[in-house]
Amino acid sequence: MSELRITGISVDLVRWPLKMKRRHGVGDIEGSMPGVIVKISTNAGIVGWGEASPWSVFTGTAEANASAIHLYMRPLVVGADPLKVSTLMRQIEKTIVGHTEGKAAVEMALLDIVGKHLGLPVAQLLGGYYRSEVPLSVSIANPDFEEDCNLAKALVADGVNIFKVKTGFSTHKEDLRRLEWLRANLPATVDLRVDYNQGLDPWNAIRHLKDVEAFRPTFIEQPVKREQRAAMAAITKAIDTPIMADESVFTPAEAIDMVRGEIADLVSIKIMKSGGIARAREIAAIAEAAGITAYGGTMFEGGLAIAAGLHMVAATPNISLGAEFYTSTFVMEVEVLKTPIVIDNGSTRVPTGAGLGVEVDEDNIRRISTAHFE
C-alpha cells in the first residue's frame, strides 16, 4: 500500500497574453485568453501540474472551471492516495457534471504525480511510446491573412508540412481566395486541411464544400453545428473528401453516435473536450474499432496541456493524423515551462522525463495569474 497522500491543491486563474489574433468559425480571440493552472502537492514532496484550457464558445469558461476544481474536486482529492487515479476521477465524475477542462487538469496533475513517483513518463503509463514525435499541424486562423501567409512560409522553411485553414468566419468567396493563395504559394507537397468550426449552414454546405474540394484538402472538419448530426451525415455521404467531427464528439457516448449515425469519416480528439486522457482514449478506442482514424486537436493550450496531449498521442496508435501542439510556442506570449515543448523539423517531440516530463516556471505562472485559490 502506498503511503503517498495528497496534501493540497492550488488553483490559479490565469490570463495568457497572446502574440497574435485568431479567428475561428464560432469566435474570435484577441489580446489574451483565460486559463487555469493546477498544482497538486503530496506528503512526499512530489508535485503534479495540470492545466485547463477552456474556450467559452466551445467547452466552457475558465472561471467556472477554477471554481469547480477549488470547490468540488479539491475536497475529494485532498487526503487521498494520488496513485488511485481512476477511483478519484470516478468520484469527481459522480460529484460534478461538465467542467471537462477542469477534470482534464486534475487528471493530468495526478498522472504527473504517478509518473514522478514511479520514475516513468505518462506515455509509458499509458502503454508506451508508439511514436516519439508527432507531426505538427499549424492553423491558419489570423484575420490578418498576410501575417499568416508570412508565418506559413517561414514554417515551411522550418519543416512544417501541415496547415489547417480556418474557414466559415467570413464569406465563401474569401475562403476560396485564401485557399487559392495557399495552394499557389506553398509547395505542392504541403498537407492542407480545412476546419469550419461549425461555420456553415446545412442548406448550402454541400455546394460550398464541393468548391473547397478543388484545393485538395486532406480533410474538412466540422462544417456545421455540433448538434446538426443529420447534416453532418448527409455531408459525409455527399463529399469525397473525408469529413472530421470535432465539436460533434466530446464524449465516448457521442463517439458511439458518430459511428452509428455515420456522421464523419474522422474524429478530432482533445483532452479538454473529453475530460482527460482516459476518456479521450475511450473515444480513440471506439474510433479504432469502427475504422475511424483520429487527429490530435487542442484548445488554446499552454505547455502543460500540450505536454499531456503529447503523452496521449504518443501512446495511442490511431491518433495518427498529427496534432496541433503549437499554441504554447507560437500563440502564447508567456511560457510556463522551463523546458518548452520542442518543435523540430515539423514535429513536436514527446517529453521523455518522469510524469509529464516538463518543469514548471512558477514565477511565470504568478506573472499571468489573476486569482489564486488554495
Q: Which of residues 25-64 bind Mg ion (CB under 5 A)?
A: none
Q: Specify the residue for cell string 471537462.
A: 100
In this complex, which beta carbon is closest to Mg ion, that of residue 5 or of residue 226? Answer: 226
In this complex, which beta carbon is closest to Mg ion, that of residue 14 or of residue 245? Answer: 245
In this complex, which beta carbon is closest to Mg ion, that of residue 195 or of residue 301? Answer: 195
Name the closest residue to Mg ion (Cβ).
246
Q: Total residues contacting Mg ion (rule CB under 5 A)?
A: 3
Task: Give the residue from 110, 59, 108 showing the smallest Cα distance to 273.
Answer: 59
Q: Which of 166, 210, 273, 338 is catalytic?
A: 166
SS3 328: helix
Minimum distance, C-beta of residue 234 to Mg ion, in the bound complex (Å): 20
Kindly state the cell numbers that stand for 278. Answer: 482516459
In this complex, which beta carbon is closest to Mg ion, that of residue 28 or of residue 359? Answer: 28
Kindly state the cell numbers that stand for 257. Answer: 453516435
Q: Specify the residue for cell string 490570463.
A: 15
Q: DSSP H helical segments within the chain, as ranges?
A: 62-67, 74-77, 85-95, 100-118, 122-125, 145-157, 172-185, 202-212, 229-238, 252-261, 271-274, 277-289, 303-315, 362-368
Do the strands 6-17 and 369-373 form a parallel or antiparallel pair, or are they unpaired? antiparallel
Residue 116: active-site member: no
Residue 166: active-site member: yes
Please count the other Cβ atoms lying within 10 Å of the Cβ belonging to residue 285: 14
In this complex, which beta carbon is closest to Mg ion, that of residue 296 or of residue 302? Answer: 296
Minimum distance, C-beta of residue 345 to Mg ion, in the bound complex (Å): 25
Select from 12, 148, 175, 246 the one that contacts Mg ion (CB under 5 A).
246
Q: Contact region for Mg ion (CB under 5 A) — 227-235, 240-248, 314-322, 346-354?
A: 240-248
Minimum distance, C-beta of residue 297 to Mg ion, in the bound complex (Å): 6
SS3 288: helix
Q: Specify the residue for cell string 509529464.
A: 356
Minimum distance, C-beta of residue 24 to Mg ion, in the bound complex (Å): 8
Minimum distance, C-beta of residue 134 to Mg ion, in the bound complex (Å): 17
Assess 133 for contact with Mg ion (CB under 5 A): no
Question: Alpha carbon 14 to chain centroid distance?
Answer: 18
Minimum distance, C-beta of residue 13 to Mg ion, in the bound complex (Å): 25
Whole-number Å distance between alpha carbons of 332 and 19: 6
Whole-number Å distance between alpha carbons of 273 and 108: 14
Q: Contact region for Mg ion (CB under 5 A) — 143-151, 188-196, 233-241, 344-352?
A: 188-196
In this complex, which beta carbon is closest to Mg ion, that of residue 37 or of residue 269? Answer: 269
Q: Which of residues 194-223 bind Mg ion (CB under 5 A)?
A: 195, 221
Whole-number Å distance between alpha carbons of 308 and 304: 6
Contacts to Mg ion by CB under 5 A: 195, 221, 246
**Among all residues, which ones are annotated catalytic?**
166, 270
